[in-house]
Structure 1
Amino acid sequence: MSLHESTLAFIGGGNMASAIIRGLVSQSIPPTNITVSEPYEPNRQKIASTGVTTTTDNAAAATNADIVVIAVKPQVTKVVCQELAASWATRDTLPVVVSIAAGITMKSMKEWLQTSSGKSAHVVRVMPNTPALVKEGASGVVASEDVTEGEKGLVDALLRTISRATEWVEREELLDVVTGLSGSGPAYFFAMVEHMVASATALGLSKEQATRLAAQTCLGAGKMLVESDEEPAQLRKNVTSPNGTTYAALQTFEKLGFEGIVDKAVQSATHRAAELGDTLGKL
């Protein structure tokens, strides 16, 4: 079965779910194949404008779906999963469940999705990031052992509508590292640009000029990084003339411990992701 032939249900219609839905529709996935359960009326109306079916009934949305995307807040994931499991008691074949609920482990998902007959849906966890909202996302993915290659293919196709990079990891704990790298990474990037703009403004540029120059510089550098065969370290060296302006800036970074700051930041986000997973699984 291809993604175009599949029926999809989204439980939750927030920003990330909306981005995926827009991506699917833009790839000619029939809107009639998609049902979204969303309790908040403004979100529901916005999503309905894409032509998909909307409802406030989670069980009804997912009744006959081949793929169910769990896109609710982590705190309500358990209740939602148990509701779905109860409604699937008589289903012969369960859907593959794709969870973008941050921090909720596969073990918890499998437990909450177990039906009264003892069956549990195949589960795929995804850690997307906010550039998915403009179809430039990076996603880390991990699957439960029972997920088939065909199901992985469906998830790949689903994520390609919003992500330019989709990386499957072998161990679930590595998804915490993905969180520390690409999940939280956009905020690191924005913080860097924020401070670059502030510095240039203090030196005389207008805020508008500094913002435009910084934004385009980062966009161009990112495109070079994506399209080049060279490592980031080599690209850095290519733009650094001995004793030049870039060299002076990088020397300042080095003296102030830039490498250690970045390392500690990624580690902190990774460790916090693991802590949240432990906490949320006990809710």
Structure 2
Amino acid sequence: MSDNVVLVGCGNMGFAMLKGWLDAGILQPDQVTVVEPTPALLERAASLGVNAVDDASKVEDDLAPRIILVAVKPQVMRDVLPAYARFAGTSTFVSVAAGIKVAFFEEHLGASAAIIRTIPNTPAAIGKGMIVTFRNAHVADDNAAFVDRLLETSGAVAAVDDESLIDVATAVSGSGPAYVFHFIEALTEAGVHAGLERKTAEILAMQTVFGAGALAASSEDTPTKLREQVTSPKGTTAAALDVLMGADRLKNLVIEAVSAAHKRAVELGNQA
């Protein structure tokens, strides 16, 4: 089988992934077929040199794609999938749609279809994402490894072996960027409250979060060790951490928030 890939849907996330594959040299333009009905998005995809078509019927049966990555909104998935059932015997399907379970794909593509469900977060659009995957028993190891290579152009990839953990991943990393954005907002307001001009406070808050995250990602030390290195006994950082960490205040608040997101992810998944 060739390494041909069909990308179904080329909105912001799909286009970012497509560009990542091509820029990394994992795929050449002639290995990719994009199916996108919106003219402007179709034209944008075509500008990268890939084969771009506006309807699934224009994907030839003998293309035999190794991977079909479905990047459409969850609410249209039911209408989109049937046109690709003809490839279920040979292709591995990859979904980036939130809340759509593997069983849904098996229902529409056949019980023996090879399915990988993924949960990317918004930083994947700039190649800095966190993507969590779950695959059913029909996905071959070499195809799973190939999909990981594709996804790694959008960020870090981690696999779970229990589909229910996708809901946990949604609560931690899927929704997580919003938690960080809110912390930037809060740190900005704290700076303003202490006397900084808002623009200055915004720069300080944003760059501090960015730099700390980059340091944590690149360091061999754990976040706990890094925190301890910044914290001098009885110093300014210690005074602040006495507030944040006293009685596990911040930890418990984050646990409560993630638990609420997890509960809602389960509810939404049961409705899908």
Using structure 1 for the length normalisation, give the TM-score. Answer: 0.89
Q: For residue 159 of structure 1, report the CA deviation from its aligned partner.
A: 0.7
1:221 to 2:212 alignment: yes
Alignment-derived partner of residue 8 in structure 2: 11
Report if aligned partners of 2:148, 2:157 keep a CA contact under 8 Å in 1.
yes
> Secondary structure of the equivalent of 1:98?
strand
Report if aligned partners of 2:88, 2:113 keep a CA contact under 8 Å in 1.
no
1:190 to 2:215 alignment: no
Aligned AA (1:240)? T
Report if aligned partners of 2:14, 2:71 keep a CA contact under 8 Å in 1.
yes
Residue among 133, 140, 158 paired with 2:132: 140
Comparing 199-208 and 144-153, the one that deviates more: 199-208
Alignment-derived partner of residue 96 in structure 1: 92
Report if aligned partners of 1:13, 1:44 keep a CA contact under 8 Å in 2.
yes
Report if aligned partners of 1:111, 1:120 keep a CA contact under 8 Å in 2.
no
1:263 to 2:250 alignment: no
Alignment-derived partner of residue 72 in structure 1: 72
Aligned equivalents of 1:49, 1:264: Cα separation in 2: 46
1:202 to 2:199 alignment: no
Q: For residue 94 of structure 1, report the CA deviation from its aligned partner.
A: 2.1
Residue among 167, 173, 177 paired with 2:168: 177
Aligned equivalents of 1:92, 1:263: Cα separation in 2: 40
Q: Using a 3 Å threshold, how does the CA distance of structure 1 residues 171 and 235 change in structure 2: closer, same or farther? A: same
> Secondary structure of the equivalent of 2:224?
helix
1:245 to 2:241 alignment: no
1:82 to 2:79 alignment: no
Alignment-derived partner of residue 221 in structure 2: 230
Q: Which runs of 5+ in 1 are unaligned?
A: none
> Secondary structure of the equivalent of 2:166?
helix
Alignment-derived partner of residue 53 in structure 1: 51
Q: Which runs of 5+ in 2 are unaligned?
A: none
Aligned equivalents of 2:118, 2:253: Cα separation in 1: 27
Alignment-derived partner of residue 128 in structure 1: 120
Aligned equivalents of 1:204, 1:48: Cα separation in 2: 51
1:276 to 2:268 alignment: yes
Comparing 186-195 and 216-225, the one that deviates more: 216-225
> Secondary structure of the equivalent of 1:161?
helix
1:20 to 2:17 alignment: yes
Q: Deviations over 1:4-24 (max 9, x none)?
A: x51111111111111110101
Aligned equivalents of 1:279, 1:17: Cα separation in 2: 25
1:109 to 2:100 alignment: no
Stretches (4+) displaced over 6 A: none
Aligned equivalents of 1:81, 1:120: Cα separation in 2: 15
Using structure 2 for the length normalisation, give the TM-score. Answer: 0.92
Alignment-derived partner of residue 144 in structure 2: 152
Q: Using a 3 Å threshold, how does the CA distance of structure 1 residues 260 and 61 change in structure 2: closer, same or farther? A: farther
Aligned AA (1:151)? N
Comparing 56-65 and 181-190, the one that deviates more: 56-65
Q: For residue 222 of structure 1, report the CA deviation from its aligned partner.
A: 0.9
Q: For residue 92 of structure 1, report the CA deviation from its aligned partner.
A: 8.7
Asked which structure has the greater RCO (Cα within 8 Å, sep 6+), the reply is 1
> Secondary structure of the equivalent of 2:232?
coil
Q: Deviations over 1:97-120 (max 9, x none)?
A: 000111111111111112xxxx64
In percent, how many aligned pairs have the same letter?
A: 37
Q: Using a 3 Å threshold, how does the CA distance of structure 1 residues 203 and 136 change in structure 2: closer, same or farther? A: same
Aligned equivalents of 1:249, 1:39: Cα separation in 2: 53
